[in-house]
Structure 1
């Protein structure tokens, strides 16, 4: 994901001719639509009337205005390295080249192959300049030798303040940051600063992230303080000791090997034998068997790795039960002889436990976050760097103050009346708007630590609280205690659950070791179509009073079983929506993490199919790895329209589509492929069918933060739920706004950024912002507004469930087999009910 380039802007203009209806892509069969990517002209509108006319709120944003910069011609050079690896040395090679050949030039380098300067090299001639440089290699006796070719490729007029100008200014800032920080992806970390211990051989480091953003009348630098998990530089034996409480006697079981593989695959280690003097550096390709189970050929004989080190290296292994690490294509070294090299970022997704602990350790209140951003910015000291002076950049030192506004929350309809949320939260004593029926149900107990009395207590409180909230719930069928020590695989759950055919619900209490949750959902959802609710046994043991746990479980169960917890009060919804049949759609694509090389991506689309906009159906499909565009969207949308018509007896007049996970650099592709796919679906759904589409992109992965100017405003010193910023730091060419929709009891509330890419409904700013905000109150799993709209949340859950199904299909990590496996390819699966929540 990246920013839009110049060609994207030009393509947008080509797609939006002046006047009347505009075609998005008529060559692909799209229906002519009213394309509305831009805000209406607000030049004569006062700030107080931007967006909604609710109460105003002044906020500080972590945006710092670029007051001035050199608007002359910048010279762009292409820099080619041979060899072009290792990547981490390229910046060092460039600095050596610059020091020797261009010592007086201020040149910003992006660390890969682009260099920019205001003073031309060699008089601005176009010839290729070639140089050689040597860099010491600590791993080998000989130095690295690089050939570097430099060629002028463009002259960029910075006065245009276009996307190329923004990119150059960003490279200038990154060049200054690289002097004091270590680049890690698009962020920077000061590795000399103390780290915070996490768990499992991990530490937390704080760093800095920034980007140059186009505002309403000037450019801004968005600075943010961030945290990231790093591997602790230590012997791998110590990492294993931190991950597992005991490993010295029994060999690690398969589950532990799997966990080690997730953490260590791709990690750089220093390998050394005590009898040798110099360590060697290598990268872990896999975690294998213990050294007494791996053989190799040595001088015509087959010996084990353990025997090799004892007889050849004169070293007796201390931990013979620990696995060997595969390095290179065929070499194996004992884990006890390897140490993790410092300064390596964790490349895989953190576990739920690790993520929770990291959030707890890294969470700071807004005032502390302001101080931290100021401290990181002061340490960078960009204003006094030679790069700032070389490009004439003058940046404001103060947080940008902005006039925002706060939306009122919607009233929510329950069976016995309306409820008005306060500060993004509510608790209703009223019955559900529509209550589900739970007649046949039981409890499976998988944890021997859970007593029968605990299950009885869980069931009795579930019945009492469920009935209090409106559920029609009968007494459960006899409980069953199951032993998963010998299995717990999909076949095990399929066999046990098959005895519950016709049941409305099976509650499963246990821990999630050995993929129990994954196997349960594969068997229940896909094989038997039985609704299940998994409850961690640790959760029950943690609380003596189950009432709070039960309350949240009942919220989920009512939705899973077809009920409606609550709905928006229609009198407050904009008339265009309250008087029309609307289908709310959320879409997301989840990709494999760095450690899941070749695993497919999973696309998920969830769509409402009732008058309240509460009940959803979900579909998932498998895509090639890292494919962000939803390939099967046309077929999915035809299905969603059919489901809506079947349930409502009529076709939806409006499609409100929330798309998660798309970067600005992908907007044009989304317009030309996904929006046209929706349009084609509508045209195939009926010859005269012409639903009005509003398409919004929901962006969570950004670094904007807002802080109330008045410290008494908002709980926990955060801005209140409903805070909208739609001016000053937003691009005037785009229809975008920021919205903080949730209450944050700790840490700093982070807004979502919304881009409206398409709007047949011609919604006003007021209507658009309110509709988005109100959808954050329709989430079924809690009684509080959430950080982004419910349809998008459901799509996220459905995509995550799809990743679990990949385990059942054995599709993960099989890039070479992806196109050959019918079970993994072109799979479109309907998720039963709202099981995905």
Structure 2
């Protein structure tokens, strides 16, 4: 059993969707493996020996969504992943890099800490506590409250981590005197606990009345000042007990010294409990005066906010998490930024609404009270926008005499408070009608200043709960839920894009703050933080030579341009049509420049056979009937997702015609040859041409029958069109994701065949139909080559750290099973060797050159081609970091690769160079990208499928398909049917699937 997490979420030190503890990156202090040094714990260094042998000492750090029993079982067993075969030997140069890992110094002696389970309950207002000191009575009360909630008779208030910490701080204060709960008789001093804000508490001494007795529960009533409770005081019932069970007799006692024992080779079991304790110890101090977003990111309450306009702003904070590295435990610290809802004077919700409306009014006109009043008009185009924004925030009221928070806003009223009538029951019997304005005056003594304003409805479709707008307030310091708009997102990216050296200065400040704010707790548990960041060695790989139609290119620093270059194989652009949805009069002049550029770059190109000027997408079918079916369609439009999706659906899906869209803002800048060249790169690819090839492919690609595969799963955000569709159609429990798989089918490794599926979004992020998708690609490969592939190199994106074993067990086995099916179907043996590699961009390891002059580009980032495979990597499994691209904006994030299987038995150099080379074959760019091209193609294909769904009639008519009184089984079956229908709707003709239609 893992440590307990938040209710309904995980059971780890951080709330997760599964069970257990969270993992992260690993690294060391920059010392070469096997180099004698002082241990990070103040004792002797790790056992010395040959470099490769040292890799066997530390197992993979277990991750969240895995329970502790599974973790310990794996720690005792040999790794089921791939051991590193060797280190990189082929590179042009090396450079010292600074990482954002900081070593932890633990006690030389064994430190036993005690793990307790904590439950904090807000006592309902109608519950009277007869005896606050009677533990047996409080036990019965706790059981009754839990039973009422479990049976649906009562819903207890959900407390935040900050509220829980406030209660526990008060409890510790009242129970720290002699003979109290937090007093140590053995040490004759008070006990200072650490607490994660949910379920987990650690102490260095046994708590009075509990000790390590599993059957004992201690209950305490705590009174805390609370503006969300009547009379300004909240009453809370706290229950503390030992974790674990009789079968797990050691779980409550955690020996931090086991970490040192493990590093010295005295035990083979990785001390996951101790790592969990370290994470909570190091996070507790900083979390007391910060806003927590997610399990690992913290933001100072008084941190400066930078405006993003229209009611949004952002602040900088820090990320922190304990990670094992080669020479000891470390804490990885990174600078983060997060968007917040703007705070207003008096928490005025009216001010927030006016700020939102300022985005909608014409320039030069201010927002007036009349604009707020107009929101009651159902035909007002701004009404839906404001309603959507209000559903993303938490709102509070004070007319009850205390702060009451509403998290579910339903709708804006269509009548003002002084004309919105409803029935009330009279004390003397009977009923009468009354306005909302009069009701609040009579009941709560509130005279409305703006009775002509609308009310907010916090009810639902069955019951209305109206509150006047002026009595509603904005909860402060809210993290933005959903997406920022494009302008806000762009501004945030610009404002946060500092150099690596700026970022690392802030990281160093955060490290110092964490150490200072944790001082009491570090002292209690005999821990310290080394404020010198870990250093490592970067190896610079040589980039590949690229072959174009007229010469070879040596791309320095991960970028090159198309000056005087012809594409390797130009396609034919002769029987094509153009459509102008903007009525811009210079469109034909632009088309002439585009054709000239196409000819210059090696295409056979002429002007379009017909250029149409149309008003909307509905006119396209009739227009195309007037000409012979074109082989390509190019169109110009203003930004409009609906038109874009409709054109892609009609031209591509229904008629098999490849297309290229140009948005008007880009068109206005299209005098630049670079923009024209980029368009030709995409057009040539969609027409089946080849832009460039690797001049000297790595040995891996010179072998016969090699197929490169890239896979990704994309998920919808809460505010996403697709997500809204599934919520309104089937219910909030049914979320969808889109999986895409791209596979090479020739020996050039430029073009990829694509298979895409809609699937139910699962917790474990697996590709449900991977076998079928793989079979689609193998069939085409067989058709093109008259043989089956002999080797598969599979790059898998979109997998979190806690899912590696599941991916290996589920997806790898699905591939293996499909091999058998294909063998039986074709009546020939199909047993390809598979190398399965995870691709991760969402991690917090950052690197910078030791000196600014060693950096690349304006940002002074690490160089394109920087490989790290000796320090901040896993000590046993085969993983590596590779920065294959030039960091243009902000600090480069190297991609983390993790090899789960390698039946092809590649050397490190073979795989490193293959990965790096594949980052140079991206069809749409003249620079290397951050991940291998097939992975990026899979991402684009999944995103294109979203547009196909948007164009679907089912989405446009959403919201009317949910039958009443539907059983869970019927809803599940309807979801399955819906997914199958959508899979039919996102289907793309085979003629396009081989030409990367999504570029």
Asked if structure 2 preserves the Cα contact closer than 8 Å seen for 1:39 and 1:735, the reply is yes
- Select the residue among 560, 579, 585 that pairs with 1:452: 585
Residues 389 and 806 of structure 1: CA distance in aligned 2, closer, same or farther (over 3 Å) = farther
DSSP-derived class of the 1:583 partner:
strand
Q: Distance in 2 between matches of 1:749 and 1:518?
A: 33
List per-residue Cα deviations over 1:675-729 (Å, max 9, x = no partner).
Answer: 1111112222225111111111111111111111132113231110011111222
* Bigger Cα displacement from structure 2, 63-72 vs 245-254: 245-254
Residues 99 and 125 of structure 1: CA distance in aligned 2, closer, same or farther (over 3 Å) = farther
Residues 384 and 112 of structure 1: CA distance in aligned 2, closer, same or farther (over 3 Å) = closer
**Map of 2:283 onto structure 1:** 174
DSSP-derived class of the 1:452 partner:
coil
Q: Distance in 2 between matches of 1:100 and 1:285?
A: 39
The answer on 1:787 being equivalent to 2:930 is yes
Alignment of 1:230-249 (within 5 A): 230-234=340-344, 235-246=351-362
**Map of 1:679 onto structure 2:** 816
Q: Distance in 2 between matches of 1:334 and 1:564?
A: 63
Residues 483 and 725 of structure 1: CA distance in aligned 2, closer, same or farther (over 3 Å) = same
The answer on 1:150 being equivalent to 2:240 is yes
**Map of 1:20 onto structure 2:** none
Q: Distance in 2 between matches of 1:326 and 1:278?
A: 17
* Bigger Cα displacement from structure 2, 345-354 vs 139-148: 139-148
1:802 offset after TM fit, Å? Answer: 2.5
- Select the residue among 77, 80, 84 that pairs with 2:119: 80
Residues 767 and 291 of structure 1: CA distance in aligned 2, closer, same or farther (over 3 Å) = farther
1:761 offset after TM fit, Å? Answer: 0.9
The answer on 1:538 being equivalent to 2:668 is no
* Bigger Cα displacement from structure 2, 338-347 vs 762-771: 338-347
Q: Distance in 1 between matches of 2:918 and 2:356?
A: 45
Q: Distance in 2 between matches of 1:493 and 1:219?
A: 63
The answer on 1:164 being equivalent to 2:273 is yes
1:139 offset after TM fit, Å? Answer: 3.4
**Map of 1:268 onto structure 2:** 394
- Select the residue among 568, 582, 599 that pairs with 1:433: 568
Q: Distance in 1 between matches of 2:440 and 2:639?
A: 38
The answer on 1:105 being equivalent to 2:144 is no
The answer on 1:477 being equivalent to 2:602 is no
**Map of 1:736 onto structure 2:** 879
**Map of 1:132 onto structure 2:** 221
DSSP-derived class of the 2:104 partner:
strand
The answer on 1:799 being equivalent to 2:889 is no
DSSP-derived class of the 2:230 partner:
coil
Residues 134 and 521 of structure 1: CA distance in aligned 2, closer, same or farther (over 3 Å) = farther
List per-residue Cα deviations over 1:470-502 (Å, max 9, x = no partner).
Answer: 122221133223324xxx6xx666666676773
**Map of 1:28 onto structure 2:** none
Q: Distance in 1 between matches of 2:675 and 2:356?
A: 34
Asked if structure 2 preserves the Cα contact closer than 8 Å seen for 1:211 and 1:222, the reply is yes
- Select the residue among 38, 42, 47 that pairs with 2:83: 38
Residue segments in structure 2 that go unaligned for 5+ positions in a row: 1-15, 17-21, 24-61, 122-155, 176-181, 184-189, 244-250, 260-269, 345-350, 425-430, 724-731, 963-967
Alignment of 1:97-496 (within 5 A): 97-101=171-175, 102=182, 104-122=190-208, 123-126=211-214, 127-142=216-231, 143-153=233-243, 154=251, 155-161=253-259, 162=270, 163-185=272-294, 186-234=296-344, 235-246=351-362, 256-257=382-383, 259-271=385-397, 281-288=405-412, 290-291=414-415, 297-299=422-424, 315=448, 326=458, 330-333=464-467, 338-382=472-516, 385-428=519-562, 429-448=564-583, 451-453=584-586, 455-484=587-616
List per-residue Cα deviations over 1:769-822 (Å, max 9, x = no partner).
Answer: 111111111111110011111111111112222233333444689998564152
User: TM-score, structure 2 length as denominator?
Assistant: 0.74
* Bigger Cα displacement from structure 2, 814-823 vs 705-714: 814-823
Q: Distance in 1 between matches of 2:838 and 2:406?
A: 42
Q: Distance in 2 between matches of 1:516 and 1:634?
A: 34
Residues 86 and 36 of structure 1: CA distance in aligned 2, closer, same or farther (over 3 Å) = closer
Asked if structure 1 preserves the Cα contact closer than 8 Å seen for 2:841 and 2:896, the reply is yes
Residues 413 and 688 of structure 1: CA distance in aligned 2, closer, same or farther (over 3 Å) = same
Residues 443 and 298 of structure 1: CA distance in aligned 2, closer, same or farther (over 3 Å) = farther
- Select the residue among 836, 841, 865 that pairs with 1:695: 836
1:239 offset after TM fit, Å? Answer: 3.1
**Map of 2:681 onto structure 1:** 555
Q: Distance in 2 between matches of 1:182 and 1:743?
A: 34
Residues 211 and 712 of structure 1: CA distance in aligned 2, closer, same or farther (over 3 Å) = same
The answer on 1:706 being equivalent to 2:847 is yes
Q: Distance in 1 between matches of 2:241 and 2:987?
A: 54
DSSP-derived class of the 1:144 partner:
strand
List per-residue Cα deviations over 1:531-583 (Å, max 9, x = no partner).
Answer: 22222212223x262422211111111112211111222x3402x33122222
The answer on 1:573 being equivalent to 2:646 is no
* Bigger Cα displacement from structure 2, 376-385 vs 723-732: 376-385
DSSP-derived class of the 1:801 partner:
helix
- Select the residue among 94, 113, 122 that pairs with 1:56: 94
Q: Distance in 2 between matches of 1:825 and 1:254?
A: 37
DSSP-derived class of the 2:532 partner:
coil
**Map of 1:29 onto structure 2:** none
* Bigger Cα displacement from structure 2, 672-681 vs 606-615: 606-615
Asked if structure 2 preserves the Cα contact closer than 8 Å seen for 1:257 and 1:287, the reply is no
Asked if structure 1 preserves the Cα contact closer than 8 Å seen for 2:81 and 2:877, the reply is no
Residues 352 and 405 of structure 1: CA distance in aligned 2, closer, same or farther (over 3 Å) = same
Asked if structure 2 preserves the Cα contact closer than 8 Å seen for 1:405 and 1:725, the reply is yes
Residue segments in structure 1 that go unaligned for 5+ positions in a row: 18-34, 43-48
- Select the residue among 767, 771, 776 that pairs with 2:910: 767
Asked if structure 2 preserves the Cα contact closer than 8 Å seen for 1:412 and 1:567, the reply is yes
**Map of 1:824 onto structure 2:** 979
DSSP-derived class of the 1:529 partner:
coil
Q: CA RMSD in A?
A: 3.2
**Map of 2:26 onto structure 1:** none
Asked if structure 2 preserves the Cα contact closer than 8 Å seen for 1:724 and 1:737, the reply is yes
Q: Distance in 2 between matches of 1:323 and 1:464?
A: 61
The answer on 1:749 being equivalent to 2:903 is no
Q: Distance in 1 between matches of 2:630 and 2:645?
A: 20
Asked if structure 2 preserves the Cα contact closer than 8 Å seen for 1:237 and 1:335, the reply is no
Q: Distance in 1 between matches of 2:880 and 2:380?
A: 49
The answer on 1:94 being equivalent to 2:133 is no
List per-residue Cα deviations over 1:87-106 (Å, max 9, x = no partner).
Answer: 24122222222222226223
Residues 37 and 603 of structure 1: CA distance in aligned 2, closer, same or farther (over 3 Å) = same
Residues 90 and 470 of structure 1: CA distance in aligned 2, closer, same or farther (over 3 Å) = same
Asked if structure 2 preserves the Cα contact closer than 8 Å seen for 1:12 and 1:668, the reply is no
* Bigger Cα displacement from structure 2, 422-431 vs 827-836: 827-836
Q: Distance in 1 between matches of 2:192 and 2:403?
A: 39
Q: Distance in 2 between matches of 1:498 and 1:140?
A: 69
* Bigger Cα displacement from structure 2, 69-78 vs 682-691: 69-78
**Map of 1:22 onto structure 2:** none
Q: Distance in 1 between matches of 2:972 and 2:659?
A: 30
